[in-house]
Amino acid sequence: MNSSDNSHWGWIWPKVGPTPTTEGLDSEIFDRDDFPYSETFVREAIQNSLDARINAEAPVRIDFKFGTSAIAPDQSLLRDVISFRKKCDLPVPSSWDSSEMTWLVVQDFHATGLTGSLSRRNSDFWNYWLNFGQSNKDASGRGGRGIGRVTFLIASEIQTVIGYTRRSEDKKTPICGMAVLRSIEDDSSLRATHAYFAAHERVSIYHLHESADCRQSVIETFQFLDYEEVPDTGLALAIPYPHSELTPDSILAAAIENFGPTIIDETLVLNVDGTRLDCHSIDGIANKVCKKMRNTSIKSDTKRYLSLIRKGLKNSPPDYRISVPVAARTLDYLEHRATASKIEEHLQTGGSCVLELGLLVRHGGSKKATNLRAAIANCPEGASPLDGFFREGMCLPMVRSKDPRDYDLLFFVDESILATYLNLCEGKAHLDLSESIEIRQKLERHHFDAPVYNLKRFVKGLPRDLRLLLYGDSSQPDSRVFENLFAIPKGPPIKKKARDGQPVPPDTLPQRRPRAFRVSKHADGLRIVAATDHDQWPVDLAAELAYADGSRRPRWNRADFEIEKLTITHKDKQKGCATFRAESNVLEARKCTKDFEVRITGFDTNRELVVSWRQDSDANGS
């Protein structure tokens, strides 16, 4: 740290009148068991920098740099903050008394910096430092709630941030800082919940420290790169005494997991304590830091994850396309079955594909065309399926399927009217798509027409609905088919733990069994084959076939077809089962083995075939 006396560059802990005060930072929004602050911190830091990107042809660069230095407490830039914390009976790091300071710097380049008037309270600049919950973003970026900056304060053990910026609009280099305290009475006056690194109060804002010596001292203290010397524009934030969970590896892991597309498409470059993360180095770094990743599917196979991202990026035409009416609530429509069958056949070859979904968004009294892309692949045997949704390159990790099963599936929404709509629907930590009166009002203010939530519900359901479309009726085991053929499950239902002293009724539905068969439909028939990832044989199979009639359970008529009169072939002329029966519209196979495969052809190619089937793993006991 600079050895000169910095004590005269002080902090202001303002007094307040009869204005209400609110303590706390709503930290539970950004620090959860499933999404710890170490991850939300990285998400917020990168999101802000991407939204401030200047040149679409050049990547945003963000440096994360850790530092440690000896300090002279009486001459430190943080002297006032520590004094205020002691008055509030707030903890102080033990290393402060040992004359040592640690810090983490987050500094971006090729960005706008912290813009806005330095003299108006509601400008972008003062919104950032003073107006929590208020933002001047226009909803076209990745944020707009005005509370994400809380993550930087949470990351500091003393809940303090100091910022140095060089603005693209006027090349000014203002410096400000913020520390979260506790509102207390001091000399018969009530102190505010925040203190600021500034020279003096100025009506509703602050007059900042403006001397060149102060700027140089801040730069040297936290080892910022001097924007004027680079030269460049951007925002640098110093986080004193960062929590120990923040490490270079955890930052790299969170960046890859949440912003993989923006790194791969050269929108974003990170430099984390000397390690450069870009489109060329991402594979090697991902393999090195995978243990720090939260998502188990990505952690177990980063190569598969990055490969599917590359497949889904907009660098080539899609393999398939589906157009969906604006009022659609699900993809489960008969008109999409043919495309789904083609995709399933494509995936059986072991490759991956891209499906483009064309949508209509109601905005400003008209329907605007937009689309999103889905990269799809079969999940390898024994692996956990990939299941992700990216809006403008940033993952919304809670937009996912509850039961992804056999398919790897990643969605991508690029800059469009759909991206703006989804931004307005996102929750405060940008993890999920939500519904509330506040969100409805924002959608209406931005001229999205009623019913405003139809599109959101459609998009949020896509991770589930697209998989169901690919499974189709032919690949979803139907518990109602030929129930009399199989043994009734034995034993009492599994009981759930009581909650708040109230008994919880047992589940009425059994756990989904692993699929023993894969069923695919072709132009004039179907194929049923033993699933390669199933390992409990023998298994009984029963299936019922009918032509679609628009109902959930279509009826079969003898005039439609009779299975025994169609062409039935078995793998290598072996049935792969103990007994096989095909009669009317019913197929039944007993004690199937891992070699089971059957093809049935000769159906009407002008009609849609629907297959309902069921398996019973307790074949020996049937």
**pLDDT single digits (tens) 64-98:** 999 999 988 888 899 999 999 999 999 999 999 89
How far apart are alpha carbons 335 and 341 in whole angstroms?
11
C-beta separation of 376 from 412 below 8 A? no
How far apart are alpha carbons 185 and 21 in whole angstroms?
12
pLDDT (0 to 100) of residue 483: 47
Distances (CA, A) of 21 to 182, 183, 191, 289, 484: 10, 7, 10, 42, 67
Edge-to-edge strand list for the sheet holding 525-530? 517-522, 525-530, 597-601, 567-570
C-beta separation of 466 from 333 below 8 A? no
Question: Which residue's structure tokens are 């280099």?
Answer: 173
pLDDT (0 to 100) of residue 30: 47
353: number of Cβ within 10 Å = 18
Q: Before 451, cis peptide (omega within 30)?
A: yes
User: Pick from 308, 424, 328, 456: which is nearest to 373 by CA?
Assistant: 308
Exposure class string for 178-211: b at 16+ Cβ within 10 A, else e: bbbbbbeeeeeeebbbbbbbbbeeeeebbebbee
Tokens of 186: 């001091």
Question: Which residue's structure tokens are 């018969």?
Answer: 188
C-beta separation of 60 from 268 below 8 A? yes
- DSSP character string of 354-397: EEEEEEEEEETTEEEEEEEEEEEEEPPTTPPPPEEEEETTEE-T
Count of residues for the chain? Answer: 622
How far apart are alpha carbons 184 and 35 in whole angstroms?
32
Sequence-separated (6 or more) residues with CB below 8 Å from residue 24: none
- DSSP character string of 162-220: EEEEE-TTT----EEEEEE----EETTEEEPSEEEESSEEETTEEEPP--HHHHHHHHH
How far apart are alpha carbons 72 and 419 in whole angstroms?
49
How far apart are alpha carbons 155 and 237 in whole angstroms?
12
Give per-10-residue mean pLDDT for the chain (622 aa): 61 84 57 73 92 92 96 88 95 93 97 95 92 60 55 92 96 96 86 94 93 94 95 96 94 97 97 97 97 94 96 90 76 73 84 92 90 94 92 94 88 93 86 89 89 87 88 48 47 48 43 73 85 87 86 82 91 83 92 92 86 74 36
User: Pick from 308, 426, 462: which is nearest to 43 by CA?
Assistant: 426
pLDDT (0 to 100) of residue 5: 57
pLDDT (0 to 100) of residue 59: 95
pLDDT (0 to 100) of residue 575: 81
Helices (H), 232-301: 248-264, 282-289, 296-300
C-beta separation of 422 from 413 below 8 A? yes
Exposure class string for 430-468: b at 16+ Cβ within 10 A, else e: bbbbeeeeebbebbeebebbeebbebbebbbbbbbbbbb
By CB atoms closer than 10 A (0-12, 13-18, 19+), residue 342 is middle
Query: Cα angle at 291 between 288 and 293, to 5 degrees?
Result: 105
Tokens of 615: 């398996």
pLDDT (0 to 100) of residue 234: 97
Sequence-separated (6 or more) residues with CB below 8 Å from residue 248: 64, 66, 272, 273, 275
pLDDT (0 to 100) of residue 412: 97
| Strand pairing report for 100-109 and 275-277 | unpaired
C-beta separation of 359 from 418 below 8 A? yes
Tokens of 618: 């307790």
Sequence-separated (6 or more) residues with CB below 8 Å from residue 511: none
